[in-house]
């Protein structure tokens, strides 16, 4: 069997069985059940956040977070992300305005945001891509100056801290994804992070059809509720999060040691003096001129050996078939990075010798 870019973490099954037994005891499967409330409390204390609202997946968390601000018009965002970010903006009836990214950490370039602001701009939706923190202070200053909301797609940032604070405590709201392929998961799942009671109330409404009580429906909300089986998986995996991150740190450092000897292969490291990173992904940028082989060649060479690296994120979202004729796509840095970046396999259970093999293939490819 080949090696994929990621593999879901699974804790010992007996522990899941024990948690699931509670569902048979209570006969409560979904709708704000006891396991969901326990998971929510555990997450708030682990992430050191006051208000967190669980959802059935990360995408609906983002749509719910955007909708709760009742926005209209244009949203400045990055095209260097997963489809979900742009789709959520469009599906909420808003117009994405694409801002280029910084070449070093691939997050939205704050120096270019102001030039894209118009009288229709209502919000900024940046992405902490791969868990690398955006320029949160500069983005907040711009938002304050123009009265814009900042909603972070923080799907990759579980556990990341910036200057000692959860990365999710920045902006007006953030969303997390607990999809099976993310470093922390609840099978599918997500969360909206709120910073005040009024917004929290709107999120709770938005999650559950806008229902306030048996006879009061206040808004046209959807159904974004997480069920008890998901919550049980989340409670279980949270017990292992520190080991998960530590193992990924060791694997990442092993990669770095080997990759440092290969010309034309580079990677970004968040500044350890301010960022506590989560080792969510292992992206490398291939400089074809120096490396002697292109990203696409490297991808194919690995694939021949049944190693499925992924072209995350390629294509950029403003070049998707469904968007390329609708929105401007003058984001040359994002385009260049998307054509030269490759995410290498990184998951719990990956071995040092498998990393040795992967890096030998990359090294051979670069020499040829
Ligand atoms: C995974 C992901 C999402 C969506 O999360 P799901 O839980 O899969 O719905 C949103 N944004 C980014 C950047 C992601 O990687």
Instruction: With beta carbons less than 8 A apart as the criterion, state whether 85 and 321 touch.
Output: no
Task: Compute the half-sphere exposure of residue 26: CA atoms within 13 Å on the CB side of its CA.
Answer: 16
What pTM was estimated for this model as a whole?
0.97
DSSP of 221-289, one letter per residue? Answer: --B-PPPHHHHHHHHHHHHTHHHHHHHHHHHHHHHHHHHTTSTTEE-----TTTEE------EEEE-HH
How far is it, in rounded angstroms, from Cα 246 to Cα 183?
A: 12
Instruction: With beta carbons less than 8 A apart as the criterion, state whether 346 and 252 touch.
Output: yes
pLDDT surpassing 80 at residue 367: no
Q: Which of 78, 85, 158 to mutate to test the pocket of ligand 1 (most atoms within 8 A of CB)?
A: 85
For 230-287, how does the pLDDT look when each residue is reduced to its tens digit (9 = 90+)?
999 999 999 999 999 999 999 999 999 999 999 999 999 999 999 999 999 999 999 9
pLDDT surpassing 80 at residue 1: no
Give the residues across from 54 on adjacent strands. 191
pLDDT surpassing 90 at residue 368: no
Q: Which atom of ligand 1 is nearest to the CA of 190?
A: 7
For 70-129, how does the pLDDT look when each residue is reduced to its tens digit (9 = 90+)?
999 999 999 999 999 999 999 999 999 999 999 999 999 999 999 999 999 999 999 999
For 278-330, how does the pLDDT look when each residue is reduced to its tens digit (9 = 90+)?
999 999 999 999 999 999 999 999 999 999 999 999 999 999 999 999 998 89
Helices (H), 305-351: 332-340
Instruction: With beta carbons less than 8 A apart as the criterion, state whether 278 and 183 touch.
Output: yes
- C-alpha distances (whole Å) from 136 to each of 10, 107, 152, 352 are 33, 10, 10, 35
Q: How many CB atoms are located within 10 Å of the residue 324 CB?
A: 13
How far is it, in rounded angstroms, from Cα 260 to Cα 258?
A: 5
Q: Which of 101, 177, 180 to mutate to test the pocket of ligand 1 (most atoms within 8 A of CB)?
A: 177
Residues within a 6 A CB radius of ligand 1: 57-59, 81-82, 84-85, 127, 153, 155-156, 177, 179, 188, 190
Section 54-64 average pLDDT: 98
Section 167-190 average pLDDT: 98
Q: Output the six-digit token pair for 222.
A: 């959807």
Ligand 1 centre from 63 Cα, in Å? 11
For residue 75, give the DSSP letter.
E
């Amino acid at each position: 069997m080949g090696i994929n870019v990621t593999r879901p973490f699974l804790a010992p099954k007996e522990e899941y069985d024990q948690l699931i037994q509670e569902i048979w005891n209570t006969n409560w499967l979904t709708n704000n059940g006891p396991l969901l409330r326990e998971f929510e409390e555990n997450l708030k204390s682990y992430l050191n956040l006051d208000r967190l609202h669980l959802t059935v997946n990360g995408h609906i968390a983002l749509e719910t977070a955007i909708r709760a601000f009742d926005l209209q018009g244009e949203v400045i965002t990055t095209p260097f992300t997963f489809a979900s970010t742009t789709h959520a903006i469009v599906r909420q009836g808003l117009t994405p305005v694409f801002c280029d990214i910084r070449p070093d950490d691939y997050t939205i370039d704050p120096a270019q945001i102001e030039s894209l602001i118009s009288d229709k701009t209502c919000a900024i939706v940046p992405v902490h891509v791969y868990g690398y923190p955006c320029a949160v202070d500069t983005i907040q200053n711009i938002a304050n100056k123009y009265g814009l909301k900042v909603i972070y797609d923080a799907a990759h940032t579980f556990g990341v801290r910036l200057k000692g604070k959860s990365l999710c405590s920045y902006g007006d709201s953030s969303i997390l994804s607990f999809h099976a392929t993310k470093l922390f998961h609840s099978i599918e799942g997500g969360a909206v992070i709120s910073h005040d009671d009024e917004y929290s109330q709107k999120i709770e409404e938005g999650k559950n059809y806008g229902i306030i009580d048996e006879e009061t429906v206040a808004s046209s909300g959807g159904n974004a509720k997480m069920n008890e089986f998901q919550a049980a998986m989340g409670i279980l995996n949270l017990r292992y999060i520190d080991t998960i991150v530590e193992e990924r740190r060791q694997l990442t450092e092993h990669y770095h040691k080997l990759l440092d000897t290969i010309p034309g292969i580079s990677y970004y490291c968040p500044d350890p003096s301010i960022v506590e990173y989560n080792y969510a992904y292992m992206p490398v940028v291939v400089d074809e001129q120096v490396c002697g082989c292109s990203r696409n060649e490297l991808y194919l060479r690995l694939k021949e050996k049944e190693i499925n690296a992924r072209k995350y994120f390629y294509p950029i979202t403003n070049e998707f078939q469904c968007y390329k004729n609708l929105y401007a796509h003058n984001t040359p840095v994002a385009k260049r990075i998307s054509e030269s970046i490759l995410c290498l396999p990184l998951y719990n259970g990956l071995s040092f010798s498998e990393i040795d093999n992967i890096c030998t293939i990359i090294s051979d490819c670069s020499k040829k």
